Structure 1
Amino acid sequence: MSSLTELLNIKHPIIIAPMFLVSNTKMVIEGMKAGVAGCIPALNYRTTDELREAIKELKADKVEGGSFGFNLIVNKSNVKYKEQLKVLCEEGVDFIITSLGSPEETINEAHEAGIKVFCDVTDLKFAQKVESLNADALIAVNNQAGGHRGNFSPKDLITELNENCKLPVISAGGVGNKSQLQEMLSYGAVGVSVGSPFIASIESGVNQDYKQACVDYGSDDIIMTKRISGTPCTVINTPYVQKIGTEETWIEKILNKNRKLKKWVKMIRFSMGMRATKNAAMKATYKTVWVAGPSIEYTTSIKPISEIVDSFV
């Protein structure tokens, strides 16, 4: 089975995970210089022209021992999906990570363009499905991940996938320092996808308040909320989050029981939640909804990407 360093021709078995609003080309370029891979959500770009320019910038600054890719939401909620996939294939990237839907079309088109596809999975059933579609690796999203996390512990998920699948397993979640990275490798992961520790980087695209929150708060301050996307998501338990609560409103609960209305309620909640998250990440506001995972426990200061990578390797 190929290691992540072999799959992506990188020096260290780490992907800087794609994070909504946080990830940008500066982070990925510095990550590549440090010998790891970096990934950006395609949805961080408002237009496909902006996405195309980002790819060109990354290709121009790519160095030996580094690699870059993009994350695609592959279900109907992403109306830009098909044009984003087209741009990625036309311009050429090293890898694509798929989330929230069937990756079949992405795998087929990406492979024609010579691009590897790694798929987010949270259980064995979906892992076997994407293996049958010829994915190149599994991103095993465990219950320690930030954002929309899985239900199984890192050890249980990695072990089950390795016992039942032939694809390389990349662990996502629960890595905040070097010993935790080594722990994931000891369970049988070929590498790790690490997000939250990189939020408090000098190069990340969010404001100082968000970065400092990742320093000031720890793992005990991470809670689950349904108030962002309608699906449980991990956030920092700020006073504002405590004020608005973490559950759906009573009217959302009623409407969610209606099969015809459920989809629209979720779309509205997602839109409202994303707007609140964007405002908290980019502007000075008391409405602080900051997405992060428990691995911020080991974030002690705001540092350059290069120093954060050094702390893992």
Structure 2
Amino acid sequence: MTTKLTQLLQIKYPIIQAPMFLVSNVAMVTEAMKSGIAGCIPALNYRTLDELRDAIRALKENKVEGGSFGFNLIVNKSNVKYKGQLEVICEEGCDFIITSLGNPQDTINQAHAVGIKVFCDVTDLHFAKKVENLGADAAIAVNNEAGGHRGNLSPQELIKQLTQHISIPVISAGGVGCKADIDKMLGYGAEGVSVGSPFIASIEAGVTDDYKQACVDYNANDIVMTERISGTPCTVINTPYVQKIGTKATWLERMLNKNKKLKKWVKMIRFSIGMKATENAAKKATYKTVWVAGPSIEHTKEILPVRDIVALLT
């Protein structure tokens, strides 16, 4: 299967195993590469730059022909680790970087200088045009079926809007849980897809068996939006605990968010608290189950090795 994405990354299938906070790891991406797709890990999954460097070196050792690996960078000012992460990635090398939540100009400049491709998350045509003008190699079109922080437009509407008005490849993110979904996205005009939630229930994923099993037991109708993790609406599985704490920001957060001077700090505090709760739920046995996932878990029927999940997608 040849598309602009397979040509860009020299992979067999036009699929990126999406970067997932707390979930993605070296083992998952290694198996993704062996299966002929690309794999990506959030740089924030590593607490220190030395850990990030070790992960890059391990992936370089594990790389095989037909596979590709990259890292996701949060490129806004709230990520105080960003500059150091970008420096390490450019020093050690990888195939691509996916940028999120900010201006990717520095990333594009530094990555291109060492031969690393840069794909940028976008949710609409306005930002897609911006990243194209900045020199991005592709746009990751985050639609309203994506897991985590999603866009507002349907896959079909967003892909067609972008392919008609930008010239760089469009990679669709969201709403892919089986081969038929991939065929549909390519039919809309995408050059590839970014797939996340189906890989949560992989043997290699670094989360609890309870989290993995939840992706099997729950379905698309059980995915809800919550403001209780990062302050920005995020999709989670509607567990009893999520139902108990609710999905809306507290009255105090809503009030403080109206103050322009305090809004930034409120979001940072909420993000810190929410991320810690999510980490505990993902990594430990706890009743406080805040599990991030998207509606594509509808097609997840059992916990499988990454290679078997890729086989079902291709």
TM score, norm. by length of structure 1: 0.99
- Which residue in the other structure is 2:55 paired with? 54
Deviation at 1:122, TM superposition (A): 0.1
1: CA distance, partners of 2:38 / 2:68: 4
How many residue pairs are counted as aligned between the two chains? 313
- Which residue in the other structure is 1:226 paired with? 227
What is the DSSP-based 3-state SS (H/G/I as helix, E as strand, rest coil) of the residue aligned with 1:240?
A: helix
- Which residue in the other structure is 1:73 paired with? 74
**CA deviation digits over 1:237-260, x for unaligned, max 9?**
000000000001011111111111
Deviation at 1:3, TM superposition (A): 1.4
What is the DSSP-based 3-state SS (H/G/I as helix, E as strand, rest coil) of the residue aligned with 1:109?
A: helix
**CA deviation digits over 1:177-221, x for unaligned, max 9?**
000000000000000000000000000010000000000000000
Alignment of 1:220-299 (within 5 A): 220-299=221-300
**CA deviation digits over 1:16-74, x for unaligned, max 9?**
00000000000000000000000000000000000000000000010000000000000
CA contact (8 A) 1:2 1:168 kept: no
Residue identity (%): 73
2: CA distance, partners of 1:41 / 1:32: 17
- Which residue in the other structure is 1:87 paired with? 88
2: CA distance, partners of 1:243 / 1:149: 23
Deviation at 1:94, TM superposition (A): 0.2
Q: What is the letter of the counterpart of residue 107 of structure 2?
A: T
Q: What is the letter of the counterpart of residue 238 of structure 2?
A: N
2: CA distance, partners of 1:224 / 1:190: 28
What is the DSSP-based 3-state SS (H/G/I as helix, E as strand, rest coil) of the residue aligned with 1:64?
A: coil
For the aligned residues, what is the CA RMSD?
A: 0.8
What is the DSSP-based 3-state SS (H/G/I as helix, E as strand, rest coil) of the residue aligned with 2:41?
A: strand
1: CA distance, partners of 2:62 / 2:124: 36
Q: Does structure 1 residue 119 correspond to structure 2 residue 120?
A: yes
Q: What is the letter of the counterpart of residue 171 of structure 1?
A: S
- Which residue in the other structure is 1:99 paired with? 100
2: CA distance, partners of 1:19 / 1:227: 18
Deviation at 1:141, TM superposition (A): 0.2
Q: What is the letter of the counterpart of residue 5 of structure 2?
A: L
**CA deviation digits over 1:127-150, x for unaligned, max 9?**
000000010000000000000000
Q: What is the letter of the counterpart of residue 279 of structure 1?
A: N
Q: What is the letter of the counterpart of residue 203 of structure 1?
A: E
2: CA distance, partners of 1:179 / 1:228: 32
- Unpaired segments of 5 or more residues in structure 2? none
What is the DSSP-based 3-state SS (H/G/I as helix, E as strand, rest coil) of the residue aligned with 1:70?
A: strand
1: CA distance, partners of 2:93 / 2:148: 28
What is the DSSP-based 3-state SS (H/G/I as helix, E as strand, rest coil) of the residue aligned with 1:306?
A: helix
Deviation at 1:168, TM superposition (A): 0.2
2: CA distance, partners of 1:107 / 1:219: 35
Q: Which aligned segments of 4 or more residues in structure 1 are displaced greater than 3 angstroms?
A: none
**CA deviation digits over 1:69-123, x for unaligned, max 9?**
0000000110000000000000000000000000000000000010000000000
Alignment of 1:134-145 (within 5 A): 134-145=135-146
**CA deviation digits over 1:284-303, x for unaligned, max 9?**
00000000000000000000
Q: What is the letter of the counterpart of residue 214 of structure 2?
A: A
Q: What is the letter of the counterpart of residue 13 of structure 2?
A: H
Deviation at 1:2, TM superposition (A): 5.8
CA contact (8 A) 2:230 2:271 kept: yes
Q: What is the letter of the counterpart of residue 276 of structure 2?
A: R
Q: What is the letter of the counterpart of residue 73 of structure 1?
A: I
1: CA distance, partners of 2:94 / 2:147: 25
- Unpaired segments of 5 or more residues in structure 1? none
**CA deviation digits over 1:137-184, x for unaligned, max 9?**
000000000000000000000000000000100000000000000000
CA contact (8 A) 1:202 1:303 kept: yes
TM score, norm. by length of structure 2: 0.99
